[in-house]
Amino acid sequence: MVKSWAFEFFPNPHAHGGEGAAEIDPKLEQDYWNFYMDLWVSAEALGFDGLLLSEHHFGGGYSPSPNILLPAIAQRTKSLRLGVMGNVLPYHTPWRLVEEFAMLDNLTGGRLEIGTSAGIPAELAMVGMSPAEGRARYEESIQVIDQALKNGVINHKGEYWNIENLPVVPPFAQKPEPPKWTTVISVESARKAAKRGSKIATGFISTDKVKEVFDNYKEAAAEAGLEAGPDQLGLRRQVIIDATSVPSEKAEGYKDAFVDMVAAFDKRVIAPGRKALDSDGAHGYAFGDDEFISGSPKEVAEQIKDQCERSGAGHFQVVFAGHQSLEELAMSWKLYGEEVIPLLK
C-alpha cells in the first residue's frame, strides 16, 4: 500500500503578472484564499492520508508562515494528517518553534507531522544569509528540537543559542513524539536524518538516485539500531492528470517551463561544482525524467506504483501540476482522490 499526501506550494497568483498591491481586488483575493482552504479540506473526503504545506518567502508562494494555516484546516477535518514540509530552520529560533509545534499538535488533535528543511540558497541570500551560515543554524536547530521532543526540557550550548533547563510547554499530544520528516536530496543528509530517527522526503532527482539515497538511509539507520522500511520514505513528484490522457506536448511544455523556473532560482540545479546547502560536499542535482508523471488516472497510478516499488517509498507526495485554472486544479484533486488513491491502496 502507498499512502498519498497532497503537497501544496500555495502559489502567489500575482508572481508573474506585475500587479501592484493597489491593483489587487480584495474580494478576488479573499475568493482565492477561500478556494484553497476548501480544496485542502476536501483532501480528507477524497481519501488522502495527509496534507503537507511548504514554507517559501519573497514572491513565489503565499505561505511564508504555513503553520498558521494548520489549525484552520484541522477545525474542518477529523483524521487528515497535517504538516509543513518543511519549516526552514535557519529562519527560526528553535526553542520558539518547538513551542509552536507543541501547540499545533494539540490544536490538530495529535495529527501533526513535523517537517524540517535547510532552505534554498537564493531565499537565504535575500536576507543576507550564506549557505554556510544557513547550514550551521540548521544543524544547531536540529539539536535543540530533537532534545526538546525527547526530553521536554532543553539544555544546549552552541554558537547561536545557549539554553539551560528550558521546559517545553504545552506537552505534545502524540507520545512519545510526533513523526519527524527531513527534506533531502543527498546521501549525506539522508544518513544524518536516519541517525536521528527522522523520516525523509525527496523529489526532483531520478528514481534510481532516490533508491541510492534511501539505501544509504537504511544502512545508517541499521548502524544506529533503528528500523527502516517504506514508512520512512516519502517520494514527491509533479503530477499532470486528466480523465482520459494528457497530450505529450502539454506535459513536455510544463516540464520544460518548470525546470527553467527552478534552475533560475536554485543555483544547485545541474551545478556539479557548487556548494549544495543540504550536504557537506560540493555538488548539485539534476532533474530526473521521472519527476513528471502524467496521464489518465490509471496511467498515473501505474507510474506512481512503479517508482515507489523501485525506490522503496511507502508515501507519495503529489504536487498537482499543469493546470490552467483553479477549476482544472480542483478536478485534478478529484480525479486523483476518486480514481488513483483506490489503486494505490
CA separation for the pair 186, 278 (Å, rounded): 7
Close Cβ partners of 229 (under 8 Å, ≥ 6 residues apart)? 312, 314
Q: How far is CA 231 from the centre of its chain?
A: 16
| Predicted TM-score (pTM) of this structure | 0.91
Percent of the chain with pLDDT over 90: 79
CA atoms within 13 A on the CB side of 258: 22
* Dihedral angle computed from the Cα positions of residues 295, 296, 297 and 298, in that order, rounded to the nearest 10 degrees: -90
Q: What is the pLDDT of residues 234-269, one digit of tens each?
A: 999 999 999 988 776 777 777 776 666 665 656 655
In 298-337, which positions are buried (b, 16+ CB within 10 angstroms) versus exposed (e)? ebbbebbeebbeebbbbbbbbbbbbbeeeeebbbbbebbb
Cα angle 131, 132, 136 (rounded to 5 degrees) comes to 115
91 and 113 Cβ atoms separated by less than 8 Å? no
**Residue 226 CB neighbour total at 10 angstroms:** 14
Q: What is the pLDDT of residues 98-147, one digit of tens each?
A: 999 999 999 999 999 999 999 988 899 999 999 999 999 999 999 999 99
Q: What is the pLDDT of residues 269-313, one digit of tens each?
A: 554 444 444 544 445 656 667 999 999 999 999 999 999 999 999
CATH topology of domain 3-48+184-343: TIM Barrel (3.20.20)
